[in-house]
Homo-oligomer: A and B are copies of this chain.
Amino acid sequence: MQPEDTPALRELYKGFENHHLIPLWTQLGDLMPIHPKPRAVPHLWKWSDLLPLAEKSGELVPVGRGGERRAIGLANPGLGGHAYVSPTLWAAIQYLGPRETAPEHRHSQNAFRFVVEGEGVWTVVNGDPVRMSRGDLLLTPGWCFHGHHNDTDQPMAWIDGLDIPFSQQNDVGFFEFGSDRVTDYATPRFSQGERLWCHPGLRPLSGLQDTVSSPIGAYRWEYTDRALTEQLLLEEEGQPATVEQGHAAIRYVNPTTGGDVMPTIRCEFHRLRAGCTTPTRREVGSTVFQVFEGSGAVVMDGVEHTLDIGDLFVIPSWISWSLQAETQFDLFRFSDAPIMERLNFARTHVETPDR
């Protein structure tokens, strides 16, 4: 479909180059593919690889002002050496040694932490100390000051999720240093945000203004577990409660709106009954899962990967995927779905199984 290669055409193309121009007709397939053809690839990181490297970093790399965090980012093999798990998302394992402090700062990028094991660290968000324990989701929405400190004699590791690649690609990020130490070393069981907001269906009259991101700093495992347990029980009782047969799931939401916890990142938790397999799906946008409990597998783009606790995998846009539960299988999930939905790019395709 390309024009004949003539001296005149070469001169034209030279003119394009000289004037910082590129013709569409030589690029169309790349620029506008028939369906999303991500450079990012499906990939699995084993917790058994990640944790020892994080521990070793704890020995060799100090944490403090400048480097800011002892965080090791998952670099999608398809994305050319950038610390991007997908074009929009950052995922990392962060590690804090005994009694260490990661200094306070804030940035436009939205962040959360999820704890697959351990406890003992408090993250201090806009002055509110938030305990981090196993199974908890902790939020630090854009432009909130935050630092962490480990109140124990044991190290702790967890995962961080942010919209760093999106922010960097689109030039939206600001960053500001805060206190070198966290502003409050108290270690309360519950943060102020939780004490105000974690009462189901109740909203404080002092908080009637809707907020862009959730005012809840910590979503506790106890509640997540109970919600999923109830869904499976209701399913057994014949009530509509699960998203699919054998598949319970919750979305973490902003209680002021019922919508996603942050403007760019969706967080969910999924539980499959032993033996359950989810239908094969494709979705616009990228998503990351971390196994929290149990064992099973994921099939991505036709390739099966066995999964154990702590394992992280990324599913790029429009790559087919299905989960398989060997035991009861618990997975934390985050994605860029709010971006896709707010900009009207969301699409899902679910394969109907042959019979």
List residues of A whose CB falls within 8 A of some B CB.
1-3, 6, 8-9, 12, 15-16, 19-25, 27-28, 30-38, 40, 43, 45, 49-50, 53, 56-57, 59-62, 64-77, 81-83, 87-88, 90, 92, 107-109, 142, 164, 166-176, 192, 195-206, 208, 210, 212-214, 216, 219, 223-224, 226-227, 230-231, 233-234, 239-243, 249-258, 261, 263-264, 268, 284-286, 316-318, 336, 338-340, 342-345, 347
Contact = CB atoms under 8 A, between A and B. Distances in A.
B198 A200 contact: yes
A95 to B, nearest CB: 11
Contacts of A242: 206
A24 B71 contact: yes
A25 B195 contact: no
A31 B231 contact: no
Contacts of A340: 172
Contacts of A342: 263, 342-343
B83 A24 contact: yes
B206 A243 contact: yes
B23 A87 contact: no
Contacts of A56: 8, 12, 15
A172 B285 contact: yes
B201 A201 contact: no
A164 B230 contact: no
Given A24-B69, A342-B343, A202 B224 contact: yes
19 contacts: A1-B67, A3-B60, A12-B61, A21-B73, A22-B72, A24-B92, A25-B68, A31-B83, A31-B90, A40-B171, A87-B170, A88-B170, A142-B345, A167-B345, A199-B226, A199-B227, A200-B223, A201-B214, A201-B219
The listed residue with most B CB atoms (<10 A of its CB), out of A50, A169, A254, is A169
Q: How many subunits of this chain does the assembly comprise?
A: 4
In order of increasing CB-CB distance, the 4 nearest A-B pairs are: A1-B66, A25-B67, A171-B317, A22-B83
A258 B249 CA distance: 21
A231 B342 CA distance: 33
A28 B72 CA distance: 11
A201 B174 contact: no
The listed residue with most B CB atoms (<10 A of its CB), out of A77, A174, A176, is A174
A170 B231 CA distance: 34
Given A65-B1, A317-B171, A53 B16 contact: yes
Contact of A257 (B206, B216, B257): B257
Contacts of A196: 230-231, 234, 241
B192 A201 contact: no
A28 B87 contact: no
A288 B66 CA distance: 36
A179 B205 CA distance: 39
Given A36-B174, A172-B317, A203-B251, A344 B53 contact: no
Contact of A23 (B35, B73, B169): B73
